[in-house]
Amino acid sequence: MNSDRTESDDTEKNDHDEHRQPEGFREIVRRWPKKTLFIIGNEFCERFSYYGMRAILTIYLINFLGYGNNDATVIFHGFTVLAYTTPLFGSMLADGYIGKYWTIFFLSIVYAIGQVTLAAASYFPANHFVHKSSWLDFLGLVIIAIGTGGIKPCVSSFGGDQFHPSHTRMISIFFSLFYFSINAGSTLSMFITPIFRHIPCLGQDSCFPLAFGVPAVLMLVATGLFMVGSFWYKRMPPTENVIWKVASTIVRAIMNKRRSSEQRQHWLDHALDDHDCVTDTKCMADDSICAQESFVTDVKSLVRVVVMMTPFPMFWALYDQQGSRWTIQAMQMNSRIVGGIHLLPDQMQVLNAILILIFIPFFQAVVYPLMEKLGIKVTMLRKMAAGGLLAALTFVLCALVQTAIQGTLVPKIEPNSAHLTFVNTYPSDADLGCAFTPTSKNWIERSVGTQQIFDTKTELFSLPTAPSAPSIFIRGQGANCPVNVPLTNINISSLHSYSIFLTPSGYSSSPAPVDKPQKGGGEFGLSIVVDLSCSYLKEQASWASCDGGFYNGAIAVCDGEKCDWEAGNGAVHIWNANDTGITTSPITPYDGSESTRSIVRYPKIDVKPATYSVHLIERVDGKVVHDWPVPSVSLPFDEMGSVYTAVISEKGLSALHRSVPPNTISIFWQIPQYIVITAAEVLFSVTGLEFAYAEAAPTLKSVVSALYLLTVAFGDIIIIVIAHLNLFNSMVTEMLAFAFAMLLTIGVFILLAIYYYEYAHYDKEDEDDEKKD
């Protein structure tokens, strides 16, 4: 008997020790569930994978797949919508069917497959058939969204399940480590992945296979880390599908209300119209309370919380544009830090991740106590209202920056009009040169002066094309210059931009490239126009390919005076004679005689600032067998964002025309808007999540979590609708519209907070159930 009593006492002592709260750092380390380290490592790798891929996605869509800004915005936020909708299904799968462990296990594998698919798609050149309709890229994005969304509501709670419920201090430390791993993974990935994108590889000046490949590998590592701990995890069995139960309760209440003429204190009370406690097993288990009535009461509290969450989507509609519109804005700015070092546009997002780590403790330790000392009562609803106002202010700042940027962009071509620039290739010599004035009825006269290298101003004309284009005349000033010559042999279409080349042999026109470089690496645009006769080439390079009296062969642009063909390609870029986009335009003599000569324009390329030389080349089986560097052609560039047209003639470089001004607004002007949006995030988003959890009934915490994530999806839907409808003429107007919409939304929220809401305080048993705000 004594031995039995001793064994029982030992068992009770062991149980007591197991449940006792660990005290001191050493005891916490000793009793810490080591299996949770696999979960923390898994989250670090998964967040690195997700945010790394997401950071470069907009530039990939625009630069590699060729989508416009609005289409890229729609696709980016469409992916986000799916990623924040699927948590609903992940939560339902985990709670009601297979449990958190198997949900994470299976969907992590799906997630990794999606990352590998996207990385594999980016390996193929942009013109490959796999990018036709971008089906493989979109397949990868859809699979990623299903994977990341499905595991999102499960991982953190699964980690918390590994602790004994009484070990609240260790649970708190775990969630702090978990949150740190999220921010550490996202911060590193948003800084490093754009660098991988910027590295040249596979014959291209960007390396998206590496940039997407590293996140894919990290997701495989994340899945592997989670699987390693499989033998030791504590697995809670699935209980019931709470989300489905809430939805069915609401639907039943609505249907019963429509059928019933009886008035209820709350419309959700109609869910009890056909309820009978006598036949309900849960009610029978506890005679003191009706289980269904208690659940309906909890759903009422959920509805109140959802009403107060109505401004959340508008906040996310502003916040989530960091990865789309703000990245596009950064691509239009000067990203140079010092010398040749550039901050990549998609790296700016890391500023938010860094600031959030600083601002959360700063607001808790400094801002909120200071407000209290000043006599300002700090409540959750007031913090959220202040955060919404800051979000609106953010987009006012964003619009101010975009206003400054607009001066560095090519003006939008209005309907029934076209843009026209004149490129004067006459020598700058006073005796041989010509100054031209284009004239036209109802058209403002502007001077096109003698050609100068690196024009300080772009000459751009907006030309009406409807009901018909006006006749254009040029008046040359100087010896042997054409006077009042009509430019009759040019074709101008609405909504396009053209260059008219004024040469000693005559005039010619061709479509002009006016799109700013969008590779996000400090590039400028360069288009080569060749005006070389065959008779001249026979003397200089007899092998050169000529047809119809003009050169139409391959051209190379090299960094420096020579191309190092022995080291490989040796050129920054090579245009082959049969490449798409090469246009040939006849040169019409000023006297109207038959054209015997043409110019050839090669498509625009985006290259980094340097000094370039131009070479006529001949290749056989991919190997350069002839190379003739065009004399007197040196193209020194030290600016980003501009677009130049270099005209090559017998004189060497006969014109270097800048059709698009450079990016002059520093990317550092985005810092204020990042600071303000991060402060708004702390006040609105972090507090909003706290508010939703505190006010929801304990049985519905997981539902609130899923709905909170769903508000992100609704916010991104707002962005998609605005971008798809293309309602605004400029980003400035669009950003001010978002600011105004946020201001109106937060105004409604403030009214709700003042007049309609009562705190529930489920987490404070010693307080009244409800208390007026």
Give the confidence band of 434 by pLDDT, cuts at 50, 70, 90.
Answer: confident
Spacing of C-alpha 313 from chain mean position: 18
pLDDT of 44 over the 60 cut: yes
605, part of any domain: yes
At which of 239, 257, 275 does a domain end?
A: 239
Give the confidence band of 289 by pLDDT, cuts at 50, 70, 90.
Answer: low
Region 604-633 average pLDDT? 89
Domain region containing 4: 1-27
Give 64's DSSP letter: I
Instruction: Tell me how far apart the alpha carbons of residues 321 and 325 are, in angstroms, rounded to a whole number.
Output: 5
Instruction: Tell me how far apart the alpha carbons of residues 229 and 366 are, in angstroms, rounded to a whole number.
Output: 40
426 with 509, same domain: the answer is yes
Give the confidence band of 763 by pLDDT, cuts at 50, 70, 90.
Answer: very low
- Average pLDDT of every residue of the chain: 83
CB atoms < 10 A from the CB of 465, how many?
A: 17
395, part of any domain: yes
- In 542-675 the beta strands, taken as DSSP E runs, fall at 546-547, 550-551, 554-559, 573-575, 583-587, 597-601, 605-607, 611-620, 623-629, 635-636, 643-649, 652-660
446 with 499, same domain: the answer is yes
- Asked if residues 517 and 524 have their Cβ atoms less than 8 Å apart, the reply is yes
396, part of any domain: yes
Cα Rg of the chain (Å, integer): 33
How many structural domains does the chain have?
5
CB atoms < 10 A from the CB of 63, how many?
A: 22
86 with 209, same domain: the answer is yes
- In 318-384 the beta strands, taken as DSSP E runs, fall at 336-338, 341-342
Give the per-residue pLDDT at 319.
95
357 with 501, same domain: the answer is no
- Asked if residues 646 and 614 have their Cβ atoms less than 8 Å apart, the reply is yes
Region 278-304 average pLDDT? 69
Give the confidence band of 296 by pLDDT, cuts at 50, 70, 90.
Answer: confident
pLDDT of 685 over the 60 cut: yes
Higher model confidence: residue 61 or residue 377?
61
- What predicted TM-score, i.e. pTM, was given to this entire model? 0.82
Give the per-residue pLDDT at 170.
77
Phi, psi (degrees; rounded to nearest 5) at 746: -70, -25
120 with 232, same domain: the answer is yes
Instruction: Tell me how far apart the alpha carbons of residues 693 and 708 are, in angstroms, rounded to a whole number.
Output: 10
702 with 653, same domain: the answer is no
513, part of any domain: yes
Region 740-745 average pLDDT? 96
Residue 758, domain CATH: 1.20.1250.20
475 with 570, same domain: the answer is yes
Give the per-residue pLDDT at 278.
61
Of 116-125, 185-194, 325-334, 747-756, the least confident? 747-756
Dmax over CA atoms of the chain, in Å, equals: 127
Instruction: Tell me how far apart the alpha carbons of residues 462 and 227 are, in angstroms, rounded to a whole number.
Output: 63
423 with 401, same domain: the answer is no
Of 281-290, 446-455, 549-558, 645-654, the least confident? 446-455
Instruction: Tell me how far apart the alpha carbons of residues 401 and 421 are, in angstroms, rounded to a whole number.
Output: 28
- Asked if residues 189 and 48 have their Cβ atoms less than 8 Å apart, the reply is yes
158, part of any domain: yes
Give the confidence band of 26 by pLDDT, cuts at 50, 70, 90.
Answer: confident
Give the per-residue pLDDT at 19.
59
Region 221-237 average pLDDT? 87
383 with 335, same domain: the answer is yes
413, part of any domain: no
215 with 129, same domain: the answer is yes
512 with 639, same domain: the answer is yes
Higher model confidence: residue 430 or residue 182?
182
Higher model confidence: residue 715 or residue 291?
715
Region 530-559 average pLDDT? 84
What's the pLDDT tens digit per position in 142-171? Answer: 999 999 988 887 887 788 778 877 776 777
Region 42-48 average pLDDT? 90
Region 106-123 average pLDDT? 94
pLDDT of 667 over the 80 cut: yes
At which of 239, 270, 291 does a domain end?
A: 239
40, part of any domain: yes
Which residue from 351, 350, 380 is spatially nearest to 363, judged by alpha carbons? Answer: 380
Of 265-279, 533-547, 616-630, the least confident? 265-279
Instruction: Tell me how far apart the alpha carbons of residues 165 and 18 are, in angstroms, rounded to a whole number.
Output: 11
pLDDT of 772 over the 50 cut: no
At which of 660, 684, 715 does a domain end?
A: 660
pLDDT of 759 over the 60 cut: no
Share of the chain above pLDDT 90, in %: 31
Phi, psi (degrees; rounded to nearest 5) at 413: -80, 120
Q: Is 343 helix (H, G, I), strand (E, B) or coil?
A: coil
276 with 319, same domain: the answer is no
414, part of any domain: no
